[in-house]
Amino acid sequence: MLKNLKFLARLMAYLQRIDPATPLSPKLEPELKDRMKDISFRKKRQTLVTQDEKPGHAYFLLSGYVVVCYIDDKGEIRVVRIAFGEQIIAIDAFMQNKPSPYYIIAMREAVLISIDYDNMLAIYRDVPGVDELAVKTSASYERLEKERDELLNKSNRERVLEFYSDKPDLLPAKKSPLQDLYIASYLKMNIDTFRRVRNKLIAEGLLKV
């Protein structure tokens, strides 16, 4: 059961924003309250989902950062998404009950709420409209992918500047819960190049530490 009702209120508001024209079922909120739980990782990062394994839970990120990545054939980390703010995590493989192509890693200080597979199935069974909402949630990921594609079409300098523009808590880097390795991979940059560009932007006063 969710202990923090403010977390539940934020989740309900998020779900309503997915399709503002369609009211959520009045059954949904009490079901989520009874079937979800809140978790946080204050001191260290935690792997939520392992690549090639079925996710046991889906998550709603309330604060902090979650990295979605995979290990390629050469053993290198490839980051495809850095989630922050309010986002639903691990929905596709979870709902299809199939192995995830990704690792999903919560960074230290991340706060999330979660639901396991059996409880989610119960909500699907008992609450009308949830299946359509899940489809629309998955479709919303296309917007995130488009935003990243647009970012990667820019210069290295523009990528770094834009990445940090709405994440001031990631600087200075020594205090950041998100490692440079993940950011550089997400921006498709060599880590040394990434650090060099970032340091130059800091020296120019365009990034604040």
Q: How confident is the model at residue 131 (pLDDT cuts 50, 70, 90)?
A: confident
Q: pLDDT band for position 96 (50/70/90)? A: confident
Instruction: Note the pLDDT of residue 13.
Output: 96
Domain assignment of residue 107, given as a range: 5-141
To the nearest 10°, report the CA torsion of 87, 93, 95, 97: -150
Is 208 contained in some domain? no
Segment 148-174 shows an average pLDDT of 95
Q: Residue 119 has what pLDDT?
A: 94
What is the pLDDT averaged over residues 189-201? Answer: 97
| pLDDT at residue 59 greater than cutoff 80 | yes
Verify that 124 and 197 share a domain, yes or no: no
Do 170 and 115 belong to one domain? no
Q: Using the 3D structure, point to which of 89, 106, 141 is the last residue of a domain.
A: 141
pTM of the model: 0.91
Q: Same domain for 59 and 117?
A: yes
Question: Would the pLDDT of 118 be above 90?
Answer: yes
CATH of the domain at 41: 2.60.120.10
Q: Beta-carbon neighbour count of residue 151 at 10 Å?
A: 15
**pLDDT over threshold 90, residue 91:** no
pLDDT of residue 156: 97
Write down which residue in 115, 141, 167 finishes a domain.
141
Least confident of 36-40, 97-101, 102-106, 126-130: 36-40
Share the mean pLDDT of the chain: 92
Confidence class for position 139, pLDDT limits 50, 70, 90: confident
Give a three-class secondary structure readout of the chain.
Answer: CCCCHHHHHHHHHHHHHHCCCCCCCCCHHHHHHHHCEEEEECCCCEEEECCCCCCCEEEEEEECEEEEEEECCCCCEEEEEEEECCEEECHHHHHHCCCCCCEEEECCCEEEEEEEHHHHHHHHHHCCCHHHHHHHHHHHHHHHHHHHHHHHCCCHHHHHHHHHHCCHHHCCHHHCCCCHHHHHHHCCCCHHHHHHHHHHHHHCCCCCC
- pLDDT score at 98: 93
What are 4-58's pLDDT values in tens digits?
A: 899 999 999 999 998 899 999 999 999 999 999 988 777 789 999 999 999 999 9
Count: domains in the chain: 2
